A and B are shown apart, each in its own frame.
Chain A
């Protein structure tokens, strides 16, 4: 058993991957709680897809792809914030248009490179091939996200459930929303390196949604969500190593399994409460 645990850790790239998985989980899982409760899951998914053109342009120009994704992510988050602020088109429609358009632009640019294979890790991630230089950026962002969420906890919390009171006390709901979108863009750009464009939103939404089934408190929910995210990352990497499967997909599958277990627990607990009530 101990051999099974330590076997992958003999390799440097695996040790880096475990570290990245944990760091990415911290960022995704904490911000994910706000994404779930503010019903921003679609925006999260859209943002993950809209960074694709940035990645491809960075690849074509020969600059750091992380920087390309960052610029595209921040630009997209500001654009989505602006569009959703204007009520002339419904929010989901506007996001759907931007998301599809930007993703199509990314695919178009990818096809112009003549090599889909080289860019496939953008779509599906490559956690096993993350260089040390990028690890520092991932660590910085992964630590910054919970720190910002801690500092802006009361502002994010209030604007999530009572925007009217926030506006009355002078706290602009749009300002907080932009801050959250920027933090979300940073999280997504970091996560893409691990699980790719297609699966990023799962790491943000699924652990938080699983945690929301077991607790009704915000801070315990964030802690539980982080535990679920980190567990998914670690177990997913082991599964990827031993079954020789894609690491990003393995991580997300473990994440989904954890959600299913939480849903069963919640269902059983609710059933027991209903039984007690009917007995009383």
Chain B
């Protein structure tokens, strides 16, 4: 028996619904005059690879956090596969920026990747053999089998990002939100990310990547959204098919 963390039953996806849909999304941090998100409405179809670009402080991370449910919006709605946040926790995986994780914590790479299975286990239930098999597959896919027993703080920046991507694979999420995933990482990690993300898109997964790197316009994204001071810029919904 699974006791979901939210104590709410997970629902089936609404057929034909966009992978991500936000409508008139507003968010303002406490004691800050300027709203971080101002009426953001986007619709991202399933199996697409989308970039969210903008300078530092433009609201990219806030939008990511609102989409995955970390920051509840003060106005507007977010739907994942046609369902409100809370009805589909297992569908969304979020790779936060490097600083959001306590890398000094005594946990191994394997345990970190195993955390991708927790949403399927819920309260108290312990991981089984199948969960560990899935974790080993994910580690192998990211070329991290040799590092599985290493403490997470002993990894390089690129290896840490790969470990987080392995966790998202272990979760088997349908929507992946990547917040500045390639900032300061090595060439090998970039190549591994490209390979894994391409294979995820082929498997029908949806990828939303936030980056301040405007050179992404040269990369192969289906859609590019540009944020500036919490507002979506008109006419920047460029399409570059892979």
Contacts and interface: CB of A to CB of B under 8 A. Distances in A.
Interface residues of A, number: 26
Contact of B107 (A151, A157, A172): A157
A169 B105 contact: no
Nearest to B68: A168
A97 interface: no
B167 interface: yes
Given A162-B115, A170-B6, A155 B107 contact: no
A152 B70 CA distance: 22
A172 B118 CA distance: 13
A157 B111 contact: yes
A49 B176 CA distance: 46
B126 interface: yes
A167 B123 CA distance: 14
B93 A168 contact: yes
A167 B106 contact: no
B124 A151 contact: yes
Contacts of A221: 106
A88 to B, nearest CB: 8
Among A87, A151, A212, A216, find the residue whose CB has the most chain B CB atoms closer than 10 A: A216
B226 interface: no
Contacts of B8: 170
Contacts of B184: none
Contact of A172 (B5, B112, B115, B124): B5
A158 B118 contact: yes
Interface in A128-164: 151-152, 154-155, 157-158, 160-162, 164
Chain B interface size range: 35 or more
Nearest to B94: A168
A152 B65 CA distance: 25
B106 A169 contact: no
A165 B89 CA distance: 11
A218 interface: yes
Contacts of A113: none
A61 to B, nearest CB: 38
A117 interface: no
B101 A169 contact: no
A162 B5 contact: no
Contacts of A87: 30
A171 interface: yes
Interface in B10-38: 30
Contacts of A88: 30
A249 to B, nearest CB: 30
B151 interface: yes
Contacts of A215: 106
Nearest to A172: B5
B158 interface: no
B108 interface: yes
12 contacts: A154-B114, A154-B115, A155-B123, A161-B102, A161-B105, A161-B107, A162-B96, A164-B70, A169-B90, A170-B69, A170-B119, A171-B5
Given A157-B107, A161-B107, A167-B69, 5 more contacts: A87-B30, A88-B30, A155-B123, A170-B69, A215-B106
Interface of B: 4-6, 8, 30, 65, 68-70, 86, 89-90, 92-94, 96, 100-108, 111-112, 114-115, 118-119, 121, 123-124, 126-127, 151-154, 167, 171
